[in-house]
Amino acid sequence: MPLALSRRGFIGSAAALSAAPAIARAASAETPAPVPVNPLVRQRADAQVFRHDDGYYYMTGSVPEYDRLVLRRSKTIAGLSTAEEAVLWRHEASGPRSGFIWAPELHQIDGKWIMYFAAGPSGGGDDVFRIRTYAIVCDGADPMTGKWRVLGEFQAPWDSFNLDSTSFVHKGVRYFAWAQREPGIDTNSNLYIAKLESPLKLAGKATRLTVPTLDWEVRGYKVAEAPAVLHRNGRLFMTYSASATDARYCLGLLTADENADLLDASSWTKSPQPVFVTNSATSVYGPGHNSFTVDEKGRDILVYHGRDYEAIQGDPLFNPDRHTRVQRLYYTADGTPDFGVPVGNGPTPERFISAADPKRLLAHDGDRLIAGNPLLPQTQFRQTPGRAGARSVMLSPILLPDHFLVADKDGVLTLQKDRKTADFALRSQFVRFEDQGAVRFVAIAAPGKAIGIDGDQVKLVRSRDPRARFHAD
């Protein structure tokens, strides 16, 4: 995703500035779509973002005070960062909905806006975790300005801890999925699914989809919660969150054929390993409670929360720094989601595929640049404002956030740790050109040369050489 280069300020050294202007003037004057920057929204956990058919992105999530239901919207994902937030409803003064408010999720069902949420009573002690699922309903077409009232309580199969409700339609049938503690099973929560008759009433018997038993599902607590459904490539994928809400929190995955009976537990296969976990290289800890949306180009986006530090003072459940984050969701050759790793703070990264050899991408192995198709995280590079003028950019791999691509006049391209010198400021600067669906990165330190792929090597080539063209993905 290209950055809006025209907005960049001049902060580079004198040497870098003297090399930049001629190239900078040649760059495209078009203003590209805004790039989301992580964290997208701070202190909003359990994030749900979706694009409605009115052209807006809607976002809700848990607030650190756990006392209210909120909603914001924007025409772009990036715009959610600064969008005005409306308070739809606050917890009550007493009773079963007077305590913690958890994990809201917004849906439109039978023409009405419905927001599911979990709540418990106030008063302290274990009773505050007598969590049940409820819904509020909007009296108008606009969920931001309409009046909301309590619709009622979800009629769960058992009167026990339940939360994280979601709803989806498949082949014309509306389903409900949620997490609940089932009497007689020694877990904190399992995942369930059923057909939905009305927003709070099931149409039939519930099916238990999975129980947390694997080592990565039971660290701290035995948890399977926060289901989210994605229908792609002939299958339904249901992510869920597992283990305690600290750095051990992670995503698991269930998969079913799109033509299978979704109410038959045997239709769903559990991935034996988590699909999305803490990554210390990118400094994102405890990624989880996700949702899915699409970006402005229709490409799949993973939405989740995570902290940017590991050590937590006190109970992690009451730590406020679970931030909403977004990143591209890719797929393997067989159509399975490839979640990669949490990409870390800063503009969302891209992959650069050689236009001359689509089987090769700009990639790295440790601090060595390579041309190939290794693991997804090795092919993701973040583009940040440069130091050599309003149109210069720097490229950094997400796994080495303190390293940048550096160009030498002899044609050698390397990954180097930022030295914060005038020479480094010059050699790490490129100008991004958009050209008929492809991009080129022209080196400021080597006029007329650009990043290119030559066989299995990444090197400087002539800026108009076909090997210098990439498709950004």
Q: Could you list the active site residues? A: 46, 225
CA atoms of 473 and 434, how far apart (whole Å): 13
Percent helix, percent strand, percent coil in the chain, to nearest 5: 10, 45, 45
CB of 116 within 8 A of CB of 177? no
DSSP 34: P
Of 345, 350, 328, nearest in space to 283 by CA: 345
Cα–Cα distance measured from residue 60 to residue 87, given in angstroms and rounded to the nearest whole number: 10
Strand segments (E) across 215-279:
224-232, 235-242, 250-257, 269-270
In 300-355, at which residue ranges do the beta strands (DSSP E only) sit? 300-307, 323-328, 330-331, 337-338, 346-347, 352-354
Q: How far apart are CA 459 and CA 468, in angstroms?
A: 9
Residue 396 phi, psi (nearest 5): -135, 135
Please list the alpha-helical segments (H only) found in 64-153.
Answer: none
Quote the distance between the C-alpha of residue 25 and its chain's center.
35
Of the candidates 100, 110, 7, 13, the residue with the CA atom closest to the CA atom of residue 62: 100
- In three-state secondary structure terms, 86 is strand
- How far is it, in rounded angstroms, from Cα 304 to Cα 276? 10
H-run or E-run covering 48 = strand 45-51
Distance CA 154, CA 260 (A): 26
The full DSSP string for 344-356 is -SEEPPB-EEESS
Cα 338 from Cα 375, distance rounded (Å)? 10
Backbone angles phi, psi at 432, to 5 degrees: -90, 125
In our burial notation (b when 16+ CB lie closer than 10 A, e otherwise), range 369-406 reads bbbbeeebbbbbbbbebbbbbbbbbbbbbbbbbebbbb
